[in-house]
């Protein structure tokens, strides 16, 4: 019975696959032994293979159409991974039951900031801390499987408690142009964003410390950040919970954990009063090459009048470092078969930065929605993922001609192009249906 045709499965903790599941004809006990031995001899890297995504509702009919396609791409490229979706109720229960020390913060922050988006930020850190795996916003997608790249990172770190923050390269319109989140790539390793984050195993302390840093800052500065009048232009929301907070936390992380002194320095640097917050908001990611030591060596002036001069001088200093080939942190070669040179920026032994994502300016969310429609069979309402993926890959190659194509494992759609946060209200739905009807009519005429 043991030697008959059957399914041989590797077992492990939920979401953790130490080696491949195989379905094979087993002709003898000898072949069974050899297959198991071969599988054990070359195990796949041991890390949590779960994809986490979130939105207020799991009813995909209420999602923008391109989100449904992007989410489908995650599952299509990672068929052996678990996909887990989180809605508002799931996340509230998670904080209430598993992280009660942050539950009040989760409940209170949308009241303070008059927006609920920060709750999603808190939840993304909490999910990775409790469960590990890959967190991916719904406006992101993989162009290839992440198994090889993440497996190589875990193998190079020689530890299972590895956190990986994804660096996102963005288009530089012209020399010296500014992008508040930075232009990314190896030149600006700290141009990170919370759209994409990974933890090889549950309970990585980094994500817990990010939550703790937010909680402590909000407690200390309650009267400032919760002012009734928040209409003035400011980037402080992004630095309190979102991409700015993540980049500050990465810079403050070391082999000894979160350096609270360095984190406070960065908070004082980038979470300023409203009159200069908009300007200084550019600095954190424009200075995407400078680490905490470099920033502390020449900190900004306390007088807001001199901030512009300080930023200009800091940018010149950064350019000189880049021209000289200097790097903010050591780089580690990752050995991946059938893939070009990929290096991890080593912030700490348990935290790497990987430059494997790009965000195209020539394919904003509005154009992405049109692309999704063009790749959809209107008679069956199914999207051709090959058509969709190939078009995105071509866009990245055209927009980033000097970027190695092997690094384009992930794509992030940060450019709104008239669609804020992928909104899918009545007016957007009406626009989409109108475009769909025109396309259907033109297709009918072509036939």
Cβ contact 132:50 at 8 Å: yes
Rg, Å, the chain Cα set? 23
How far apart, in whole angstroms, are the C-alpha atoms of residue 308 and residue 121? 30
Element at 60 (helix H, strand E)? none
Residues 40, 42, 44, 45: what is their CA dihedral angle, to the nearest 10 degrees? 100
- Who wins on pLDDT, 291 or 230? 291
> Greater confidence, 433 or 245?
245
**pLDDT score at 131:** 98
pLDDT of amino acid 283: 59
- Token couple for 338: 């059938």
Distance CA 94, CA 52 (A): 14
More confident residue, 122 or 443: 122
CA distance 130 to 150: 19
**Max mean pLDDT range (160-174, 221-235, 262-276):** 160-174
Between CA 49 and CA 78 the distance in angstroms is 9
> What is the reported pLDDT for 302?
72
Residue 175 burial (C-beta neighbours within 10 Å; 0-12, 13-18, 19+): exposed
pLDDT-above-70 percentage for the chain: 78
pLDDT at residue 83 in the model: 98
CB contact at 8 A, 206 and 350:
yes
DSSP class per residue in 238-261: HHHTSHHHHHHHHHHEETTEE-HH
Question: What is the pLDDT of the chain when averaged over all its residues?
Answer: 80
In whole angstroms, what is the distance from residue 170 CA to residue 203 CA?
31
Indicate the pTM of the whole model.
0.84
Phi/psi zone of residue 169: left (φ > 0), alpha (ψ -120 to 50 degrees), beta? beta
CB 134 within 8 A of CB 146: yes
Name residue, tokens 């999603």.
120
Confidence check: pLDDT of 368 > 80: yes
Kind and range of the H or E run holding 133: strand 133-136
Structure confidence by residue, pLDDT tens digits, 75-126: 999 999 999 999 999 999 999 999 999 999 999 888 776 678 899 999 999 9
- All residues at 6 or more sequence positions from 301 whose CB lies less than 8 Å from its CB, including other chains: 307, 310
- The residues, ordered by sequence, that sit 6+ positions from 237 with a Cβ below 8 Å of its Cβ are 113, 115, 117, 118
Collapse the DSSP code of 308 into the 3-class scheme (helix H, G, I; strand E, B; otherwise coil) and give the result: helix
Q: What pLDDT was estimated at residue 25?
A: 38
pLDDT score of 432: 81
Q: What is the DSSP letter of 102?
A: G
Cα 91 vs. chain centroid, distance in angstroms?
19
Predicted confidence at residue 251, as pLDDT, reads 92
- Residue 71, pLDDT > 70, answer yes
Strand partners, 407: none
What is the rounded average pLDDT of the residues 57-72?
Answer: 92
Highest mean pLDDT among 119-133, 186-200, 220-234, 273-287: 119-133
415 confidence band (pLDDT: 50, 70, 90): confident
- Which segment of 148-152, 252-256, 274-278, 363-367 scores lowest on mean pLDDT? 274-278
Task: Label residue 269 by pLDDT band (50, 70, 90).
Answer: confident
The helix-helix angle for 88-98 and 103-113 (nearest 10°) equals 130
CB-based contact 273:238 (threshold 8 Å): no
Give the other-Cβ count within 10 Å of 446's Cβ.
6
The pLDDT value recorded for residue 244 is 85
Q: How confident is the model at residue 2 (pLDDT cuts 50, 70, 90)?
A: very low
Of 15-24, 275-284, 378-387, 399-408, the least confident? 15-24
HSE at residue 440, side-chain half, CA atoms within 13 A, is 11
* Average of per-residue pLDDT across 418-429: 65
Q: How confident is the model at residue 391 (pLDDT cuts 50, 70, 90)?
A: very high
Phi first, then psi, for residue 272 (nearest 5°) are -105, 175
Mean pLDDT of 401-424: 78
In this predicted structure, which of 224-228, 250-254, 293-297, 322-326 has the lowest mean pLDDT? 224-228
Tell me how far apart the alpha carbons of residues 78 and 186 are, in angstroms, rounded to a whole number. Answer: 26
Q: What are the C-alpha distances in Å from 432 to residues 66, 94, 385?
A: 11, 35, 19
Q: What is the pLDDT of residue 55?
A: 93
pLDDT for residue 19 is more than 60 = no
């Amino acid at each position: 019975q043991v030697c008959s045709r059957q399914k041989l499965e590797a077992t492990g903790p939920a979401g953790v696959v130490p080696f491949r599941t195989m379905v094979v004809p087993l002709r003898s006990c000898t072949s069974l032994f050899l297959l198991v031995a071969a599988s054990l001899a070359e195990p796949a890297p041991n890390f949590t293979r779960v994809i986490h995504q979130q939105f207020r509702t799991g009813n995909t009919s209420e999602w923008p159409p391109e989100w449904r396609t992007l989410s489908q791409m995650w599952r299509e490229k990672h068929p052996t991974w678990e996909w887990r979706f989180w809605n508002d109720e799931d996340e509230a229960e998670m904080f209430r039951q598993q992280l009660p020390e942050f539950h009040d913060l989760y409940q209170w922050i949308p009241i303070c900031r008059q927006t609920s988006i920060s709750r999603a930020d808190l939840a993304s850190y909490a999910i990775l801390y409790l469960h590990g795996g890959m967190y991916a916003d719904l406006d992101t997608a993989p162009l290839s499987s992440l198994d090889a790249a993440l497996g190589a990172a875990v193998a190079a770190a020689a530890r299972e408690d590895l956190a990986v923050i994804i660096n996102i390269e963005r288009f530089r319109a012209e020399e010296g142009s500014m992008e508040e989140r930075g232009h990314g790539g190896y030149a600006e390793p700290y141009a990170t964003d919370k759209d994409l984050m990974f933890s090889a195993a549950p309970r990585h302390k980094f994500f817990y410390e990010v939550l703790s840093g937010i909680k402590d800052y909000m407690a200390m500065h309650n009267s400032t950040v919760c002012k009734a009048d928040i209409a003035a232009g400011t980037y402080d929301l992004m630095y309190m919970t979102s991409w700015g907070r993540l980049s500050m936390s990465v810079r403050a992380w070391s082999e000894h954990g979160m350096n609270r002194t360095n984190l406070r320095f960065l908070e004082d640097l980038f979470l300023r009063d409203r009159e200069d917050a908009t300007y200084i908001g550019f600095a954190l990611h424009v200075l995407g090459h400078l680490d905490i030591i470099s920033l502390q060596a020449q900190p900004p002036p306390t007088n807001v009048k001199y901030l512009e001069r300080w930023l200009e001088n800091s940018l010149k200093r950064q350019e000189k470092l880049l021209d000289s080939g200097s790097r903010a942190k050591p780089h580690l070669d990752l050995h991946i078969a059938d893939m070009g040179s990929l290096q991890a920026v080593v912030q700490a032994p348990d935290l790497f930065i990987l430059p494997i994502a790009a965000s195209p300016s020539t394919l904003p969310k509005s154009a992405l929605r049109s692309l999704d429609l063009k790749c959809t069979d209107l008679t069956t309402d199914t999207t051709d993922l090959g058509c969709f993926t190939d078009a995105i890959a071509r866009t990245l190659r055209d927009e980033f001609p000097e970027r190695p194509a092997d690094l384009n494992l992930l794509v992030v759609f940060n450019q709104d192009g008239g669609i804020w946060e992928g909104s899918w209200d009545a007016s957007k739905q009406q626009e989409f249906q109108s475009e769909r009807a025109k396309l259907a009519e033109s297709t009918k005429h072509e036939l």
